[in-house]
Amino acid sequence: MIPKEGETIAVWFSSGAASAVAAKKTLEIYGDRCKIRVINNPILEEDEDNLRFLKDVEKWIGVKIEFARHSKYPEASAEKVWDDVGYMSGVAGAPCTKFLKKGARQQWEAANHHDWLVMGFTADELKRAEMFSLTERSNFLPVLIHEGITKEGCFSVLRRAGIEIPRTYAVGWPNGNCPGCVKATSPTYWNFTRQQRPDVFASRAEQSRRIGAKLVRYQGKRIFLDELPEDAVGRPLKSMKMPECGLFCEEKGMFK
């Protein structure tokens, strides 16, 4: 099935490279016959440069990007969510995703008519996209997959458009998510966080100790961040795979 003339397509933009290109391609393919709305779930703890990227993408695609926040968390703070629920991350997922991403999206969908939705699933995330279509939304439109665009391909598209990628990518993070993502369990990731953003590492260490969340896995067991040796390493950072923060950020086993 393909969108019909006059239908509405909601594109969920995560301030990442893939969802930016997904928005652009959706407008190129369907913009002449469908209403395209581009929506972002802002997170207070995101890198400040994500907002600069959002504004650049907004100019590039020529559509005003809307914001969707959870009614319970209008300030969109992940740290507040963690304190409220007394949980940061584990086998039950990440509550910041549950409320600030998935929950906010569901509230927006309940209040706004749309016929189709687009997310930043790339051609190298086919299985994840298929699962989303089967378990979440049958009206999912896999634009990047249909176009055969991979994650690396998204960076190429942005470079050709003259758009500077978010700073988080540029300094070596595997994605554009919040620095110090609580779904990460890798000692490599957390020591990279300690090096690049010592303020974020200190904040996560204090809050996780207070809540009782052992976020990092080291030598086969979970430990608190303030117990992690500064020279501890795991898998190389570049080999880690984690999607842009969204529905599947809550899957188990990500970012080891």
Distance CA 251, CA 80 (A): 21
Per-residue pLDDT tens digits for 168-202: 888 887 777 789 999 889 999 999 999 999 999 99
Contact indicator for 68, 95 with CB cutoff of 8 Å: no
CB 16 within 8 A of CB 244: yes
pLDDT computed for residue 239 by the predictor? 64
Give the pLDDT of residue 174: 74
Residue 250 confidence (pLDDT) above 60: no
Helix axes 198-211, 78-85, angle to 10 degrees: 10
pLDDT tens for 71-96 read 999 999 999 999 999 999 987 789 99
Segment 112-123 mean pLDDT: 95
Strands 35-40 and 65-67: parallel
Pairing state between β 216-218 and 116-118: unpaired
Q: What is the pLDDT of residue 254?
A: 45
Phi, psi of 240 (to 5 degrees): -75, 140
Q: How far is residue 30's CA from residue 3's CA, in Å, rounded to a whole number?
A: 8
At residue 244, the pLDDT reads: 56
The predicted-structure confidence for 97-107, as pLDDT tens digits, reads as follows: 999 999 999 99
Q: Which of 192-206, 211-225, 237-251 has the lowest mean pLDDT?
A: 237-251
Q: According to the model, what pLDDT value does residue 187 have?
A: 95
Long-range contacts of 155-162 (CB under 8 A, 24+ apart): 155/17, 157/21, 157/24, 158/17, 158/20, 158/21, 161/24, 161/60
Q: How far apart are CA 163 and CA 56, in angstroms?
A: 7
> Going from the N-terminus, what domains does the chain have, and what CATH number goes with each?
8-79+92-172 (3.40.50.620)
DSSP 3-state assignment of 39? strand
pLDDT for position 237: 72
